[in-house]
Structure 1
Amino acid sequence: MSEVLTSLAVGLLTAAVVMTVAALVARAVGRVAVVDVAWGLGFVAIAAGTAAVADGDPARRWLVLGLVGLWGLRLAWHIRRRAVGHGEDPRYEKLLGGPVREVGFGVAVRKVFLVQGVAMWFISLPVQVGAALSVRWWPVVVAGSVLWLVGLVFEAVGDAQLAAYKRDPDRGPVMDRGLWRWTRHPNYFGDACVWWGLWLVGGLASGWLPGLLTVLAPVAMTWFLVFATGARLLEQTMMKRPGYPEYAARTSMFFPLPPRS
């Protein structure tokens, strides 16, 4: 039990440090969207810290660090590259009630950095708990790794297809190619699969009790992706674009499904 508590404490401290640094950088550059880059990096830092201090199964600890590292570093790199040359993300202006220079940076700290720091710690509970425990069911580790891979492919391929669409001078008004023909948010769906996979690897594979105690972590991540800072919030803006309501009428919002006629 003491190993689990130590791992949780290290995870909480790491999340606090990452979000503090992100807030300082955001204040310096005047963009709250810096937190999106820190989001992926923070999970990597938590996985690395808990893998280093905890005393759980070594193979599983380093496997989880590898899975989180690949996901988090790719996500941070992609968001950083996409953000170059752009201003504030309109989602954050809507969340804050206006530009950060008008509402005050303290509002951004409370509504964005504090909330995402706590969310990062909570969502990574399977990573932190798994680092301190032994593996009970290795087949569950394998199943979780496969689900993680499915999620990473959806996320990476979806991002690559969207980037190719934006470079195409003959593109239509709405991206409805490839994975985007089956779901309006393949990257968010992939993110959810990644964290349900990590819950299987780090939580449920340790036993029924660790699995039950950490299952709300992927539930929370899915809720964020669909309702909080993800799909629903983004679509409030996207629905104003020509052709998007028609695209939404025929395409599943989250889970990949055959397009409706």
Structure 2
Amino acid sequence: MMRHPGKGASLGRVAAAYVVAFGAATVWLVVGPDTPWLWLDGLIADLIATLIIFGASRMHANSSFYDAYWSVLPPYLAVYWWIAGGLGIGDVRAWLVVAVIVVWAVRLTANWVSSFPGLHHEDWRYPMIREQAGRYGTVADLVAIHLIPTLQVFLGLLPVYVALVRPTRGVGWLDWVALVVGLGAVALELAADTQMRRFLRSHQPGQVMDQGLWGWSRHPNYLGEIGFWLSLALFGIAASPRDWWWMSAGTVVMIAMFLGASIPMMEKRSLERRPEYGAVIDRVPKLLPRPPRRTVG
């Protein structure tokens, strides 16, 4: 039987893989051939880092190596675009955008670190994806678990590229709305995750979480995540209003992912493991919060 390292050693291996991945991405950005567009330079670096993390995932037979990539990549690309775009250290919008991204990234990464038990654990969805792909399991791992999420996040970051590289107008009221939405989304995610951790420490077998924020929405953490990506779209629209028609594409993709894949998979698993969850579905809305329906009888 394969022996897995403990949590500390596991986190050390994951951190080492990320140092290599982002080191390689940085080498590409610094000494590699430039393309005509900074966004394309960023995308190539992003894909290089993703492929290295994929290699580490396969080396350790654990695709949860990729989980933290979702939150580590955005501040990296944002800072690169800010520096390479030439806005300067005094640009107010740049500070607002990067501040929201950093606060979100620190919280989400810290939440992953605190909940990651070690390399003996892998997100339950990943083996299922590989098994469904049969002999193409490795291809499914690369595409579905690594590349598609990378491209989704990159699409969600394109408004940040506009705000940091080619803004057409100065800071206005919409920037401050975007700031409030972004920080509010992070606060919502923090509160939801804190309440869930407390529940998991004291819940009884088969018990379902329907208290606090989870009594108003079955997935308040996903609602907060959507709010964060919406805030980035608002920053992009504030920077270049004429591009409003495509700025929300990343947010739409995130909503589609949560509603079309993440939430259905989570709820199916919850119903299989906790039949009482059906009653929660009956009285608590899926995403947008409202007071729960009263139980009849």
> How many residues of Structure 1 are paired with residues of Structure 2 in the alignment?
255
* SS of structure 2 residue aligned to 1:176: coil
Say if 1:37 and 1:77, in contact at 8 Å, map to a contact too: no
Give the whole-Å Cα distance in 2 for the aligned partners of 1:220 and 1:169: 34
Match of 2:210 in 1: 176
CA 1:154–1:182 in structure 2 vs 1: closer, same or farther (change >3 Å)? same
- Is residue 2:161 matched to residue 1:128? yes
Report the Cα offset of residue 211 of structure 1: 2.2
Say if 2:97 and 2:179, in contact at 8 Å, map to a contact too: no
Give the whole-Å Cα distance in 2 for the aligned partners of 1:137 and 1:215: 19
Report the Cα offset of residue 159 of structure 1: 0.4
- Is residue 2:79 matched to residue 1:48? yes
Report the Cα offset of residue 141 of structure 1: 0.2
- Is residue 2:78 matched to residue 1:32? no
TM-score by length of 1: 0.89
- Is residue 2:231 matched to residue 1:231? no
Say if 1:158 and 1:180, in contact at 8 Å, map to a contact too: yes
Report the Cα offset of residue 65 of structure 1: 1.6
The one-letter code sitting in structure 1 at the alignment partner of 2:182 is W
Identify the match of residue 187 of structure 2 among 138, 153, 166.
153
The one-letter code sitting in structure 2 at the alignment partner of 1:117 is T
Say if 1:154 and 1:190, in contact at 8 Å, map to a contact too: yes
Identify the match of residue 39 of structure 2 among 8, 16, 39.
8
CA 1:80–1:226 in structure 2 vs 1: closer, same or farther (change >3 Å)? farther
Report the Cα offset of residue 125 of structure 1: 0.8
Match of 1:205 in 2: 238
Report the Cα offset of residue 144 of structure 1: 0.6
Give the whole-Å Cα distance in 1 for the aligned partners of 2:212 and 2:178: 25
- Is residue 2:183 matched to residue 1:119? no
Give the whole-Å Cα distance in 2 for the aligned partners of 1:171 and 1:136: 55
Match of 1:18 in 2: 49
Please, what is the CA RMSD of the aligned residues?
2.3
Say if 1:91 and 1:234, in contact at 8 Å, map to a contact too: no
The one-letter code sitting in structure 1 at the alignment partner of 2:146 is F
* SS of structure 2 residue aligned to 1:239: helix
Say if 1:18 and 1:42, in contact at 8 Å, map to a contact too: no
Match of 2:93 in 1: 60
Identify the match of residue 279 of structure 2 among 227, 236, 246.
246
Flag the structure with more relative contact order, 1 or 2, with Cα contacts below 8 A and sequence separation at least 6. 1
Give the whole-Å Cα distance in 2 for the aligned partners of 1:51 and 1:66: 12
Give the whole-Å Cα distance in 2 for the aligned partners of 1:141 and 1:105: 42
Report the Cα offset of residue 87 of structure 1: 2.1
Say if 2:68 and 2:109, in contact at 8 Å, map to a contact too: yes
Superposed CA deviations along residues 152-199 of structure 1, whole A, max 9, x for unmatched, are 111011001000111115687001111001001111000001111111
Say if 1:137 and 1:207, in contact at 8 Å, map to a contact too: no
Report the Cα offset of residue 136 of structure 1: 4.1
* SS of structure 2 residue aligned to 1:69: helix
Report the Cα offset of residue 43 of structure 1: 1.5
**What residue ranges of structure 1 are gaps of 5+ in the alignment?**
none
* SS of structure 2 residue aligned to 1:33: helix
The one-letter code sitting in structure 2 at the alignment partner of 1:55 is G
Give the whole-Å Cα distance in 2 for the aligned partners of 1:115 and 1:25: 17
The one-letter code sitting in structure 2 at the alignment partner of 1:216 is A
